[in-house]
Amino acid sequence: MTEGRADAVGIHDDEAARKRLRRRYAAERRFRAYGLGAIGIAMLALVVLLASVTRSGLPAFTQHELTLEIHYDAELLDPDGTRDPEVLGRADYAKPVRAALASLFPAVEGRRERRQLAGLVSKGAVFELRERVLAAPELVGTREPVRVPLSDEADQYLKGKIRTDLPESQRKVSDRQIAWIEDLRGRGLVHQVFNFRFLSSGDSREPELAGIWGAAVGSLLTLLVTLLLSFPVGVAAAVYLEEFAPRNRWTDLIEVNINNLAAVPSIVFGLLGLAVFLNFFGLPRSAPLVGGMVLALMTLPTVIIASRAAILSVPPSIREAALGVGASPLQVVVQHVLPLALPGILTGTIIGMARALGETAPLLMIGMVAFVVDVPDGPLAPATALPVQIFLWADSPEPAFREKTAAAIMVLLAFLIIMNLAAVLLRNRFERRW
Amino acid sequence: MSLLLATLLVLLVASAFWTGRNRALALAADGTSTLHSRPSYHGSWVALWCGLPALVLLVGWLALEPGLVDAMVVSALPEEVRELPSGELARVLDDARRVAAGERTAREPGPEVLEAARQLGRLRTYAGLAFAGLLLSVAVGGLTWARSRLRPDFRARIRVERAVRISLVACSVVAILTTVGIVLSLIFEAVRFFALVSPAEFLLGTEWSPQTAIRADQVGSSGAFGAIPVFLGTLLITVIAMAVAVPVGLFSAVYLSDYASPRTRAIVKPVLEILAGIPTVVYGVFAALSVAPMLREFGEGLGLDVASESALAAGAVMGIMIIPFVSSLSDDVISAVPSALREGSYGLGATKSETIRRVVLPAALPGIVGATLLAVSRAIGETMIVVMAAGLAANLTANPLEAVTTVTVQIVTLLVGDQEFDSAKTLAAFALGLVLFLATLILNVVALTVVRRYREKYD
């Protein structure tokens, strides 16, 4: 007996065994470290992604403005003194801006230098002055200090985005312009303000004037169409498949179809929209209506699958009780099953809508990539959507648009976070465990 | 006008429900127990008869109106205008439409255009008025007829429920119609493409340069449609993405299911899901503006020549996007392995990692393969990342540092912008779309079959 024990100690307790065990434990620790490392990589990617977006996007929410002493010269704007909106609308507002700039730097002479000086101020200043005068014609003939946006190059310089150590020919702001900007800053005429234009205007060729409101409205209209189509159709299909459909080949076919549609690449839905909605039915290009229809077909499987799961989780006893007191099958569904399944259905729908909001590829196919300045006023007006706007700006060579791209991503992500939070809250607040 | 009509119609339907319900209540003077159906069913039935025929009429009108009005305008035009070639005639009509809408036309409108515009405006007004009258009378007619048929023993509930059931079936058929629509539209356009370019050339050719001349008199290449470089580019980027996503996703899944405490799991899982919820265009921006320049700089430091649109940047970022997809699917399969298998292995003295490597993973292998196949199908169909970060030129290369193009990139570049639906260039996009659809379909079907069979094994 003692011998046997000694033997066992011999196999499991000698130097070789201890070494083996150490190796096995080391392998165990390594394996665990791989797992942690994998999670670390995924988390790191997320952090880097969000940090790089935030870092380059935050500056876009501020903007630099210049206070100019504008003289609304009656001779220039309205020589006949009519104060007719037509006359005022056609007048040249670039001259008062140039005059105000020239009065700040009386020493500047020569065409080239004047043009460089005028380049400090955004081209949008002219439009904003026109709007001001049209809204208040009594301004004509008076002087007032007006804040006008600086051009994107000057703005980028003030935000420290332009490397001044490069030779002059390799940057967008000349030495002389830098001197002017610093002079203006010294005189206290340059202010950094919150960029309301970015949130309230449509797209523009000038980065300092471009905003996301047009794209946001386009996205909203598109999502509205998507919701109106996919929610009722999806819930109805789920009700049919869960509550009424007989188990046969036909319903199997529908089921296989839905599962496959959920995995079809989104761009294929775009091809469908192009071939069927645009070419066959002749619906207008770039319209939120068509975008919404395509996205509705895309999100339909998500809505159906989520609704079926929610309906399935309602216990059969509820149906039987309702049937027992004389309700018809449809009354059972409408008055008992659907209200109980609604939180789950809504959660699934919101998640589907969030996916649709971030979708870009199918919208490219149906022409929602057009350069649209106006805020769309209906589901048939040409429009673009938030993710498409991000795509368009990311493609633009101007560095100021890079900032806008990241800022637009922040806005899009904010919408997505809100929607997902709503889904989570809905689930936690209303979902019942049976 | 149309808004007013729609409001009127909605009001009519609402009043139909109300009259139907009240009528039923009046019929059952001695209490509702003598009615076969509840009064609201009578109301719904009348509302259906009021709204449905009008709706059918409305859809038909929307489909037919433009063609009908155009035909009437054309027939009223002078003979010499009517005998113009069809393209010219279409332009006259188009200009007339613009003039009627008060917009500016590209050309100075001629007398025939002005005449057509006048006709168009007049016809539209009359036709609109006539149609509105017809629509409202159909709705009111349906309402009165249905109301007159109400009796205490009228089986309103059965009829209404039948209508609802039919609409439920119709809704579930939408999924099938979508698939049919996808298949038909892809095949229809692809067949037109294969009439211009032989399938053998498309599937086996090694040169892809789809830039054909748009007009016949333009100077330009005739275009080459050998899709092999496009397919191989897709394959290269997919392989890179999988090389990132599968190890990272699989190890995270293993750690989460077998090592992590419930608290860690509750935090890490949702964070990983965030990666799946970020829109692909954001990954595209990240790949094109952050990762690609970084890789390029890094490569320069090593003395390597990295293209600014390298396959590596696009593939790596796509891999990051797919990590949560792989990890959550694998997590499901790994958790589904019965604990008896694990405990048996522990009982023999195996460590945790030995158990996972030798028992759990082999048992879960079919499920993991299925998850990987689904991930591959996602990678093949992914569009925005590659559109923004991968190249346009179809290089036949396996070097991940060079630029390659993919099927989805080509579809987007061929279809965005001006389109002419008789050029091989535009149609080629649909042929590529067909290949893409079939490839992802096959991958999905195979993956789902593998996963299902595996699930049955342990259930």
Q: pLDDT value at position B219? A: 46
- How close does chain B come to A75, measured CA to CA in Å? 33
Of the candidates A42, A253, A261, which has its C-beta nearest B323's C-beta?
Answer: A42
At residue B384, the 3 state secondary structure works out as: helix
Last residue of a domain, one of B98, B133, B154: B154
Of the candidates B175, B248, B252, which has its C-beta nearest A258's C-beta?
Answer: B175
Residues B142 and B240 occupy one common structural domain: no
Residue B265 belongs to a domain: yes
* Closest-approach residue (CA) in chain A for B286: A49
A191-239 confidence digits (pLDDT tens): 888 988 888 888 888 888 889 999 999 999 999 999 999 999 999 999 9
Distance CA B45, CA B156 (A): 6
Residue B185 belongs to a domain: no
Residue B215 belongs to a domain: no
Let me know: does A198 contact A404? Beta carbons within 8 Å: yes
Q: Does B432 touch chain A (CB under 8 A)?
A: no
Q: Mutation test of the interface with chain B: which of A21, A36, A44, A49, choosing the one with the most B Cβ atoms within 10 A?
A: A49
Let me know: does A42 contact B320? Beta carbons within 8 Å: yes
Q: What number of other Cβ atoms are within 10 A of residue A50's Cβ?
A: 17
Helix (H) or strand (E) holding B209: strand B208-209
Q: Does A305 touch chain B (CB under 8 A)?
A: no
At residue B29, the 3 state secondary structure works out as: coil
Let me know: does B12 contact B140? Beta carbons within 8 Å: yes
- How close does chain B come to A123, measured CA to CA in Å? 27
Q: pLDDT value at position B417? A: 67
Q: pLDDT value at position B454? A: 72
Examine the pLDDT at B231 and tell me if it is beyond 70.
yes
Q: pLDDT value at position A1? A: 44
- A373-432 residues touching B, CB cutoff 8 A: 387-388, 390-391, 394-395, 402, 405-406, 409, 412-413, 416, 420
* Closest-approach residue (CA) in chain A for B375: A263
Residue type, A59: P
Q: Does A366 touch chain B (CB under 8 A)?
A: no
Q: Does A335 touch chain B (CB under 8 A)?
A: no
3-state helix vs strand vs coil in chain A, percent to 5: 70, 5, 25
Residues B252 and B380 occupy one common structural domain: yes
Residue type, B36: H
Q: pLDDT value at position A2? A: 47
Examine the pLDDT at B32 and tell me if it is beyond 80.
no
Mean pLDDT of A142-150: 87
B316-368 confidence digits (pLDDT tens): 999 999 999 999 989 988 988 888 999 999 999 999 999 999 999 999 998 89
Tell me if A260 and B430 make a contact (CB, 8 A cut-off). Answer: no
Computed over every residue of chain A, the mean pLDDT equals 88
Examine the pLDDT at B214 and tell me if it is beyond 60.
no
Q: Look up the ipTM and state it.
A: 0.89
- Give the per-residue SS3 of chain A: CHHHHHHHHHHHHCHHHHHHHHHHHHHHHHHHHHHHHHHHHHHHHHHHHHHHHHHHHHHHHEEEEEEEEEECCHHHHCCCCCCCHHHHHHCCCHHHHHHHHHHHCCCCCCHHHHHHHHCCECCHHHHHHHHHHHHCHHHCCCEEEEEEEECHHHHHHHCCCCCCCCCHHHCCCCHHHHHHHHHHHHCCCEEEEECHHHHHCCCCCCCCCCCCHHHHHHHHHHHHHHHHHHHHHHHHHHHHHHHHCCCCHHHHHHHHHHHHHCCCCHHHHHHHHHHHHHHHCCCCCCCHHHHHHHHHHHHHHHHHHHHHHHHHCCCHHHHHHHHHCCCCHHHHHHHHHHHHHHHHHHHHHHHHHHHHHHCCHHHHHCCCCCCCCCCCCCCCCCCCCHHHHHHHHHHCCCHHHHHHHHHHHHHHHHHHHHHHHHHHHHHHHHCCCC
**Cα→Cα distances A27→A32, B126, B350, B383, Å:** 9, 86, 12, 40
Q: Which chain A residues touch B178 with a CB distance below 8 Å?
A: 257, 261, 272, 297, 300
Angle between helices A213-239 and A338-358 (to 10 degrees): 140
User: What residues pair up with B369 in beta bridges, in sequence order?
Assistant: none
Residues B34 and B119 occupy one common structural domain: yes
Examine the pLDDT at B65 and tell me if it is beyond 80.
no
Last residue of a domain, one of B134, B154, B174: B154
Mean pLDDT of A147-175: 84
Last residue of a domain, one of B105, B128, B154: B154
Residue B165 belongs to a domain: no
Q: How many helices (H) and strands (E) does chain B have?
A: 18, 2
Residue B197 belongs to a domain: no
Computed over every residue of chain B, the mean pLDDT equals 86
Q: pLDDT value at position A30? A: 95
Tell me if B351 and A35 make a contact (CB, 8 A cut-off). Answer: no
Examine the pLDDT at A296 and tell me if it is beyond 90.
yes
B121-148 confidence digits (pLDDT tens): 888 788 888 888 898 899 999 999 998 8
Residue B436 belongs to a domain: yes
B83-122 confidence digits (pLDDT tens): 777 667 777 777 777 777 766 666 667 777 777 788 788 8
Q: Mutation test of the interface with chain B: which of A257, A295, A418, choosing the one with the most B Cβ atoms within 10 A?
A: A257
User: Where in the sequence is the domain holding B75, given as residue range(s)?
Assistant: 2-154
Let me know: does A210 contact A401? Beta carbons within 8 Å: yes
Q: Does A252 touch chain B (CB under 8 A)?
A: no
Residue B163 belongs to a domain: no
Residues B257 and B136 occupy one common structural domain: no
Tell me if A266 and B381 make a contact (CB, 8 A cut-off). Answer: yes
- CATH code of the domain made up of A213-430: 1.10.3720.10
Domain boundaries along the sequence of chain A: 2-58, 61-200, 213-430
Q: Does B183 touch chain A (CB under 8 A)?
A: no
Residue B352 belongs to domain with CATH number: 1.10.3720.10
Of the candidates B178, B252, B429, which has its C-beta nearest A38's C-beta?
Answer: B252
Q: Given the structure tokens 């305008």, which residue do they identify?
A: B73
Q: pLDDT value at position A24? A: 93
- Which residues, other chains included, contact A62 with Cβ-Cβ below 8 Å and sequence gap of 6+? A159, A192, A193, A194, A195
Q: pLDDT value at position B13? A: 92
Q: Which chain A residues touch B278 with a CB distance below 8 Å?
A: 49, 358, 413, 416
Question: Per the structure, how many domains does chain B have?
Answer: 2
Q: pLDDT value at position B456? A: 65
DSSP A150: B
Q: Which chain A residues touch B436 with a CB distance below 8 Å?
A: 265, 267-268
Residues B447 and B336 occupy one common structural domain: yes
